Amino acid sequence: MKMETTAVDSVTVVRCEGNLDTNTSVEAQDTLNQLMDDGAAKILIDFEKVDFVSSAGLRILLASAKRLSSSGGGLRITGLNDVVNEVFEISGFSTILDVFASEEEALQGF
């Protein structure tokens, strides 16, 4: 999975491409940890070009959200396709993570 990072004001925007699954989540976790280690407090992950997210991917999202919220920052998510959205709904992640319809909406008030 490709992860492209850009800064928009105080928010680190991570645009993903591919799948967030068993094989890619380890690398994704490393990337996110590195960003947090480097001081990123507010992270917005854009899944627009992601095909599917499996429970392994959800796991790293949860871990990152926990770490960010404990340090006063936060994790926001956007660009879910129907299936990823369904996975978020089924797993309850749509209520415990902050999901937005677009990058613009997600950036407002972050």
Binding site for other proteins (CB under 8 A): 19, 21-23, 51-56, 58-59, 62-63, 65-66, 69, 81-84, 86-87, 90-92, 95-97
- CB 6, min distance to other proteins, A: 25
12-14-16 Cα angle (round to 5): 175
Shortest Cβ distance from residue 58 to other proteins (Å)? 6
Number of H helices, E strands in the chain: 5, 5
Helix (H) or strand (E) holding 77: strand 74-78
Closer residue to other proteins, CB minimum distance, 2 or 66: 66
Q: Which is nearer to other proteins, 86 or 105 (CB)?
A: 86
Q: How far is the C-alpha of 11 from the C-alpha of 78, rounded, in Å?
A: 13
Nearer to other proteins, 8 or 30 (CB): 30
Minimum distance from CB of 62 to other proteins (Å)?
6
89 CB-side CA count, 13 A: 7
